[in-house]
Structure 1
Amino acid sequence: MKAWMFNRPQLTLKLEDVAQPELRAGAALVQMEAVPLLSYTRNYLQSNLPYAYPPSPFTPGTNGIGRIIAVGAGVQQFQPGQRVAVNPYWIANEAVAEPPQVLIGLTGISADSTPMLEEFPHGSLREVAEFPVSTLLPLDGLDHVAAERLAVLAKFIIPFGGLRRGRLSVGETVAINGAGGYFGSAAVLAALAMGAARVIALGRNAQALQKLVELGQGRVVAVLLSGDVAGDASAIRTAAGGGIALAYDMVGQASDANSTLALLHSLRRGGRLVLMGSMQVALPIPYGDMLLNNWELIGHFMYTSADYLALLSLVKAGLLSLDAVELKTFAFPALEAAIDHAAQMKGLQATVSLF
């Protein structure tokens, strides 16, 4: 079979003929159909990120859509022929306080995750991928949806997990920082699907925010950020008609904390702030304000299997449409061009490698 193989010491990525994986207990072989690409894939392949890489050479690639062609011993529910979403977030299934965890095909997460990276080093950019079945999600009932369209589930599941962690309730107002970005834009649509009464979309790109306002049909209000904490917090509160119940921060690589602090100060008493971005500086927490307002600060990483199943339920029910995302597909052998295109993605866009 064909697989893209990355050799980190040499910084080379090549499409190679490799042997099909041998099936192991508790795992499944998946014939891949579509793989979405991360915007920072090129930086990753240039070894510019502080990640714990799998042992080289390995196949990169995180999420994907495919069909199971075989299941290993001990697998109870999944069957050959079943369509699944491949999910890279693998947590060791052990009853300990802090089980090791990795993102298959990308990086280790916990300090003790090296054995997991060695056990399943290969990601989704191969014709047949092997994954632990605990990382697969059944797509039963979605056979009518094209693989490339289903691949954009990966764009929604991360912010959806954060909104669920923040306990977004039907009828609440939520403010989303970084709404013009790749994941932030998906967070706006996910919040609408979850029943938010109003979504305050925060960002610095008026055109990107206007697209979200149009899709929100009266439930999305845009706020252009100025960088002034007090002024931006006041603008958010004005747009919301009062304090925010839930604030969600998904700004990537922020070099200052001002927008996040504005988000915090826009909360009503008892409000919650979920942090899922990648700010590069310290976040100064106003101790007294946190105390007097009963604010809740939640750091959150990724999502759970229950979150993914809930997301699929929204899609199946027609409450969340994947069609709002602008897709660009590339044939599997044209991965280099796909990676370059992915680096330019903005807002409601996605780049998919199609098998």
Structure 2
Amino acid sequence: MRRVICSAFGDPLALEVIEEPTPEPPPGEVLVEVTAVGVSFVDGLVVRGSYQVRPPLPFTPGSCVVGRVAAAGEGVDHLGPGTAVAAVLTDFGGYASHVTAPAGAVVPVPDGVAAEVAAGAMESYLTMAFATTHRITVGRGDHVVVLGAGGGIGQAAIDVASGLGACVVAVASTEDKRAAAKAVGAEVALGYDDLKGEIRAATGGGADVVIDPVGGPASESALRALATGGRFCVFGFASGEIPRLPANIVLLRNRTVVGVDWGDWSREVGGPQGNAALLADVLERIGRGVYRPRQPSTAPMADAGRVLELVGERQAIGKYVLRP
């Protein structure tokens, strides 16, 4: 098998590909021959040592894998060789040609859902599915503002919110990203200039929900543009700057700030079984066309470092997947 190795926290371009014997699946687990693995902004943070979870070195990045069962360990009877499956790995290790995973965390991929589409959608759509089932409500007619609308989380947020009947206002930094946001369902696409005023004008007075995976100065502007009872959802800080949100603006008009950390939930409260159920639902909705993730860009595993730099610098539109 082949896998990407991070030997020291720092520059993603220092990642290496090594070869080693393919493992046998232990009891209760399956060996998956990986077809596609999703690349995320978080992967780059982990490689740089900037994420709250720091795996012991050396390690292999990546969590969201799609492939086919190559072998099943003792006690696994429901996942035969050749079954198309997806899994979220709790201890990283996804940038590899083969991975082992507990059978309870592995979910069959519905017929008609391409491996690269499933791998590219998993993290972003799981995050949004977790948000809308465990953290916030999005109702028909709500005005939902999505910051960072050209990225993976942003694209999933637009798709999920518009599918729930919301009126989506996308915010992105370039014309290409704004066009991509409108292509997946945003009714309006804005830049970051005069954000509070632009959001209020586009929503007829204020947003009901703000999805913010960006952070930085845009966060406070979007918070100030919330309507009465509005929900401001903190997803992450792709800008690299953690905002200091003024509590008085939260107090005014009964606004709410909500943290959305799907990764923590999947490791702790939800656990592998809860996360597998959420993943099965996401993949089923993709298969039925309820969720409509865009075709991701693809790259060979040897280009993992270059792709992580591209995603980390917010130059990518949509998602990337690696093909081992």
Look up the match of 1:275.
Answer: 234
Task: Extract unaligned runs of 5+ from structure 2.
Answer: 267-274
Equivalent residue letter for 2:210? A
Partner of residue 233 from structure 1, selected from 184, 191, 196: 196
1:220 alignment partner AA = E
Q: Report the Cα distance in structure 2 between the residues aligned to 1:71 and 1:176, rounded to whole angstroms.
A: 42
Is 2:309 the counterpart of 1:314?
Answer: no
Q: Distance in 1 between matches of 2:128 and 2:218?
A: 18
In the alignment, which of 124, 135, 152 is matched to residue 120 of structure 2? 152
Listed one character per residue, the Cα deviations across residues 215-243 of structure 1 (whole Å, up to 9, x for unaligned) are 42xx52122222xxxx5323212101233
Question: In structure 1, which of residues 118, 121, 133 is the aligned counterpart of residue 103 of structure 2?
Answer: 133
Aligned partners of 1:74, 1:38: CA distance in 2, in Å? 33
Summarize the Cα distance change of 1:319–1:274 in structure 2 as closer, same or farther, 3 Å threshold. Answer: same
Aligned equivalents of 1:337 and 1:171: distance in 2?
A: 41
Would the aligned equivalents of 1:174 and 1:244 in 2 still touch at CA under 8 Å? yes
Change (3 A) 1:9 1:351: closer
The answer as to 2:226 corresponding to 1:250 is: no
Deviations 1:152-209 (A, max 9, x none): 113433344334432222332211122133422332223223332x101123323311
User: Quick one: distance in 2 between partners of 1:13 and 1:215?
Assistant: 33
Shift of 1:146: 2.9
**Structure 2 residue corresponding to 1:223, chosen from 185, 190, 203:** 190
Q: Which amino acid aligns with 1:280?
A: E
Aligned pair in 2 of structure 1 residues 25, 295: CA closer, same or farther (>3 Å)?
Answer: farther
Q: CA deviation at 1:344?
A: 6.4
Distance 1:203 1:80, change over 3 A: same
Distance 1:211 1:14 in 2: 33
The question of whether the paired residues in 1 share the 8 Å contact of 2:150 and 2:318 is answered with no
1:293 alignment partner, one of 253, 263, 271: 253
Q: Which runs of 5+ in 1 are unaligned?
A: 91-103, 106-122
- Listed one character per residue, the Cα deviations across residues 108-147 of structure 1 (whole Å, up to 9, x for unaligned) are xxxxxxxxxxxxxxx12222201233433321x23x3332
Residue 249 (structure 1) shift: 0.7
1:109 maps to none
**What is the RMSD computed on CA atoms of the aligned residues?**
3.1
Q: State the match for 2:169 in structure 1.
A: 200
User: Cα–Cα, structure 1 residues 238 and 74, in superposed 2: closer, same or farther, change >3 Å?
Assistant: farther
Post-superposition CA distance 1:306-349 (Å, at most 9, x none): 44333223212112223x3442332x455556556655664533
2-structure distance, mates of 1:13, 1:347: 20
Larger relative contact order (Cα-Cα within 8 Å, sequence gap ≥ 6): 2
Per the alignment, do residues 348 and 195 of structure 1 end up closer, same or farther by CA in structure 2, a change over 3 Å counting? farther
Per-residue deviation, residues 75-114 of structure 1 (Å, max 9, x unmatched): 57544432221213x3xxxxxxxxxxxxx22xxxxxxxxx
- Describe the SS at the equivalent of 1:7: coil
Shift of the alpha carbon at 1:353? 2.0
Corresponding residue SS for 1:59: coil
Contact 2:158 2:170 in 1 (8 A): yes
Aligned partner of 2:180 in structure 1 is 211
Identity fraction in percent? 24
Between the aligned partners of 2:229 and 2:60, the Cα distance in structure 1 is 45
Secondary structure at 2:26 match in 1: coil
Picking from 22, 29, 32, the partner of 1:30 is 32
2:158–2:184 contact (8 Å) kept in structure 1: no
Query: As a proportion of its length, which structure holds more helix?
Result: 2
Aligned to 2:137: 167
Letter in 1 for 2:250: M
Does residue 33 of structure 2 align to residue 70 of structure 1?
Answer: no
Partner secondary structure for residue 24 of structure 1: coil
CA distance 1:292–1:60, shift in 2 (3 Å): closer
How many aligned residue pairs are there? 307
What SS does the corresponding residue of 1:171 show, helix, strand or coil?
coil
The structure-2 alpha-carbon separation of the partners of 1:294 and 1:137, relative to structure 1 and needing over 3 Å to count, comes to: farther
Normalised to the residue count of structure 1, the TM-score between the two structures is: 0.74
